[in-house]
Structure 1
C-alpha cells in the first residue's frame, strides 16, 4: 500500500525514520506494512524494525509512541535506535525492553509508549518474546488456524512493573504476526470483536496453499476501514531454507545465457527488491561473459561454474569459476570494463587467480522494501527473448542484450539508423539484461549518430540502472 503523493511533511518525516529495507533471509520471509491514519495525515509514533542477530536469529519489533507529529516521530526514532542496540548486544527481549525502559525514563514524550519484541530462530522455530503494554503476537499455522501467544506480562514504558520473557514455537510454514493497537482499536468494533476479526483474517490468509507473509499483512490491513490511528503490521513466515544453486557447463555463450536465466529464476524466487535484482544479475552476466571471452582464449572452451548461496545473515554470495588462463590486455574505450561494471552493482567483488583457474565472487545484502515505501518499477519476472521492432519512429528493444544477442542488436541498430529520416529514439525500457557487450554497441552507435540517436528507459528498469552506472547519455521516462 503506497503512501499518497500528497503526504504531509510530517508523514515524510515518519517515512524517513522507519526502516527503509527488510532483510531477505533463507529460512524466513518478512513483510511489513504501515498505514497512516485517515483522520490525521501527520506522522504518528508507530514503528517496526527487524534486526538480524549474530547467531542468525532475527529480532522483530513493533512499537507505538503516544501522539502524532514531529515530537512523537522523534521519540519513536530514538526508542527504535536504543532498542536495536540492546538487541544487537545480545539481550533477550525482556532484558532489551528493561534497558529501553531506563532509556525512556530520561526521554520526554516516551512515557506510556508500548512495544513488543519477538526473537525467532529460523532453523529451529524457537521463539522468545516480551510485550510492554502491547497486544500479544499471534501465530498462524499451516493447518489454517491462528492463536494469540500467551501474554508475557509487562507495563507500558514508564509505568511500574517489570517484564517477563515468553516462549513459544513456530512450526515450518507457520506465520508470526506483530501489530500495533490501531488494528484492534477501531471505531466500528469492540476490542473483543476486533481481536476475533484479526484471528479470522489471518486464518483466511493462510488457508490456501500459496500463502506468504506478504499475503498475511495484505489481508490483515483489509480489516481496517475508518481507522483513527496509524496501523503497523510485521509478519514472519518460517519456511524451508532456500537451497544453494550450482551449475557447470562449457564456457560458451549459450551456456552463459542458460545460466543467466536459471540464476534469475533462483534469485527472483527470493523476492528481493528490483534494484538488488538488477545489480546482481548485471554482475553475474559480466562475470560469465568474461569467462566465455577470455578464460580459454588459447584453447577449446573449458568449464564454467556458477554457484549462488544465501547466508543466514541475508548476504548472497555468487561465484563464477573457470579453469583457464586469462589473456592479459589493456582496457580500451569499448572493452575491458566488465569487471568494473560488475563491481559497481554489488557490495563486494573479489577475484582470485591461481594456476588452476580464476574464481570471481560477488557479495551483496538481499533486501526488500516495506510496502509503505514501494515505488520502483519492477523488472519483468518472465523469461524474455531478445526482440527489436520499429514503431512510431522508435526502435523498441526487449529481452537480454548480452554476449549472445549483442551482435544481432548491432546489425539491427545500424540498419534502422541508416534508413531513419529523423533522429532515432531507442527505447530500452523492456530490456531485461543490459550487459557490457550491449553497452559497447550503444556507445559505438552514439558516436556514429552525431546526436541523431537518443536512448530512453523507464525509471527503475535494468537499462536505466546500467546506463546510469556507465554514464551513457540517456533520457529517463
Structure 2
C-alpha cells in the first residue's frame, strides 16, 4: 500500500493536468510538445490558451530551467499566475511584469523565459511581449513567413523591463509561438535554425485548411537528436464558423438528415473524439424525443435544429418543436432520453411553453495537444566544459547546460570573489548555452552590481542566446 501511494504521489508531481485547447469560431489552434527525457510525462516547457471575457484569446509559452520533478511544479505555478493576470485584463507586458514579481517567490523559476500574446479573432489585432524568449512568427498563405519585431525583456529574475509589441494577422495567417529547443539543434547554427523554422512554417501555412496542425507538425519535424524539450503553439485566424440552422417536419427521415448535417458541421471543427461522441449522442436523443413525443396527438409539425459556436468556445445547440408533450411517468425501458442527453454534455435545459418546447445543450468544445516523447540523444562532437582565468578574464568553453551549470556557478562565484577589478566572462568558446546557464549568468549579474561583463563573439551560440534573452552583454 505504501508503494502504491508513493507511485501515485510521484505521478501527480510529474503529470500536471492535461491542458485542452479550446475550439473557437475564428481561430484554429494546434499545440505539440516533444519531451527530451523518456519515462516522463512533463518537462520544463509549457503552453496555455485562455479565452478572455471579450472574446480575445491569450496564447502563452514558457521555458523553465531543467527537467524532472521540480520543473512541472514550477511551470504549473507560472502558467496559472500568467493566466490569472491576463484574465484580469492585463496586457501581455503588464501580465509578464506581474509574473516576474510572482516568480521571485517560486523556487526554480529564476531565468525562466516566457512569451505571451493576445489575439483578437474579429479584427486580427495582436499584442505580445517576450521575457528572454524568442519572438513569435507569422506565416501567410502567400508562402511567406516572418518573425515579429522583438519586444525586448529579460528572463524572469533578471534586471529589465517589458515592452508591448503589436502586429496584425489577416484571415488565414498563422501565428506560431515556440520554445528555444526548436532553434538549439545539434550541428545547426543559430542563423540556419532561424531560417529553417521560417521555411517550414511558410510551406505548411500555404494551404488554409488545417493550417495550424500542419504548422506544428512540420515545425517539430525539424527536431532530431534533441537534448531539450520543445513546445510549439499555432493559431490560425480563419473565417468565423457559420452557425447551422435546419428546419423540417418532425419525422425520422428529417432527424436522420439533420444528424448527418450536424455531424459534418461538428467534425469540421475538429474537436477531440470523446466530445464529438457525447454531443452527437445528446442531439440524437433530443431529436428523437421530438419525433416521438412532441406531436403525439396530431400530424408531425416542425423540428428545428440550431447549432453555433460562441467566442468562448462553448457550443450551444437547440432542438425546438411547436407541439405539446404528454405528461407521463417514464417506463422501465423508455423516457430516459433527456437524462442520457444531459449526461454527455456540460449542461442541458428544457423550456416548455404553450407554443412548444426548446431543449438547449451547452458544452465546451476542446481538443487535446499532441505529445511526442523523444529520446535524449546528445549532440555529436561534444566539447567538454572548461573555465579558466586568462589575461584578467574568465574564459569559458564547451556546453553550459543542466549538467555543467552547477560547476560553472561555483567557479564563477569563486573567481568573482577574488577579483580586484570588474570581471569579464568570455563566452565566445561556449558551444551550447542552455537555460540552466542563463540562470547562472542572470544570478551573477544581480550579485555583481554591474561589476560583471559578459562577452561573446558575434554569430556564436552564446551570442545568439544572450541576444535572445536580452541579458546585458558585449559582442566582440
Task: Report the TM-score, using the length of structure 1 for normalisation.
Answer: 0.75
Cα distance in 2 for partners of 1:352, 1:297 equals 18
Closer/same/farther in 2, CA of residues 86 and 215 from structure 1, 3 Å limit: same
Shift of 1:16: 2.9
Number of the residue aligned with 1:160: 159
Say if 1:93 and 1:118, in contact at 8 Å, map to a contact too: yes
**Residues 99-134 of structure 1: per-residue CA shift (max 9 Å, x gap):** 000001111111100000000000000000000000
Number of the residue aligned with 2:274: 275
- Residue 132 (structure 2) pairs with residue 100 (structure 1): no
Closer/same/farther in 2, CA of residues 239 and 200 from structure 1, 3 Å limit: same
Cα distance in 2 for partners of 1:373, 1:295 equals 50
Matches within 5 A, 1:448-459: none
Which blocks of at least 5 consecutive residues in structure 2 are unaligned?
Answer: 1-6, 374-476
Say if 1:11 and 1:42, in contact at 8 Å, map to a contact too: no
Matches within 5 A, 1:132-143: 132-143=131-142
Say if 2:61 and 2:178, in contact at 8 Å, map to a contact too: yes
Cα distance in 2 for partners of 1:373, 1:334 equals 45
**Residues 208-252 of structure 1: per-residue CA shift (max 9 Å, x gap):** 353510010001110000011000000000000000010000000
**Residues 373-418 of structure 1: per-residue CA shift (max 9 Å, x gap):** 99xxxxxxxxxxxxxxxxxxxxxxxxxxxxxxxxxxxxxxxxxxxx
Shift of 1:43: 4.2
Matches within 5 A, 1:298-309: 298-309=297-308
Closer/same/farther in 2, CA of residues 40 and 343 from structure 1, 3 Å limit: closer
Closer/same/farther in 2, CA of residues 39 and 351 from structure 1, 3 Å limit: closer
Number of the residue aligned with 1:130: 129
Say if 2:47 and 2:62, in contact at 8 Å, map to a contact too: yes
If you compute each CA radius of gyration, which structure gives the higher value, 1 or 2?
2
Matches within 5 A, 1:347-358: 347-358=346-357
Which blocks of at least 5 consecutive residues in structure 1 are unaligned?
Answer: 1-7, 375-477
SS at match of 2:15: helix
Number of the residue aligned with 2:400: none
Cα distance in 1 for partners of 2:197, 2:213 equals 16
SS at match of 2:107: coil
Say if 2:19 and 2:48, in contact at 8 Å, map to a contact too: no
Say if 1:42 and 1:69, in contact at 8 Å, map to a contact too: no
Instruction: Count residues in correspondence.
Output: 367
Shift of 1:73: 1.6
Task: Output the aligned Cα RMSD.
Answer: 1.9
Shift of 1:327: 1.0
Q: Report the more deviating stretch, 217-226 or 198-207.
A: 198-207
**Residues 232-273 of structure 1: per-residue CA shift (max 9 Å, x gap):** 000000000000010000000110010001000000000001
Closer/same/farther in 2, CA of residues 193 and 32 from structure 1, 3 Å limit: same
Cα distance in 2 for partners of 1:15, 1:140 equals 34
SS at match of 2:186: coil
Cα distance in 2 for partners of 1:339, 1:80 equals 38
Matches within 5 A, 1:314-333: 314-333=313-332
Cα distance in 1 for partners of 2:235, 2:131 equals 20
**Residues 259-291 of structure 1: per-residue CA shift (max 9 Å, x gap):** 001000000000001111111101100110011
Cα distance in 1 for partners of 2:210, 2:123 equals 21
Cα distance in 2 for partners of 1:40, 1:136 equals 31
